[in-house]
């Protein structure tokens, strides 16, 4: 029976992991700021009435609509 061992080799040095990565920190901070702004915008829009949304030019929420053709109910009831 063959016995093999797998060893994880960490090739990154401590300096690369914890060292000069200000761009990563700046990216994270920017992403969090954008996320917070997006959440605040969604909350503000959720509190507005449909009339207020139309006033500011925001498109209406897509709601499911049921379209019934003329005469459909008559046809269905006649099929009973």
Predicted confidence (pLDDT) per residue in 36-61, tens digit: 999 999 999 889 888 898 898 887 76
Residue 28 pLDDT class (50, 70, 90 cuts)? very high
What contacts 60, CB < 8 A, 6 or more positions away? 50, 53, 54
Distance CA 72, CA 51 (A): 33
Q: Is the dihedral of CA 27, 32, 35, 36 positive or negative?
A: negative
Distance CA 45, CA 54 (A): 11
Mean pLDDT, the chain, integer: 79
Model confidence at 66: pLDDT above 80: yes
């Amino acid at each position: 029976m063959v016995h093999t061992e797998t060893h994880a080799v960490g090739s990154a040095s401590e300096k690369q992991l914890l060292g000069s990565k200000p761009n990563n920190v700046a990216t994270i901070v920017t992403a969090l700021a954008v996320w917070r702004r997006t959440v605040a915008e969604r909350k503000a829009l959720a509190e507005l009435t449909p009339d207020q949304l139309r006033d500011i030019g925001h498109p209406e929420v897509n709601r499911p609509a049921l379209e019934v053709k003329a005469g459909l109910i008559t046809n269905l009831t006649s099929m009973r």
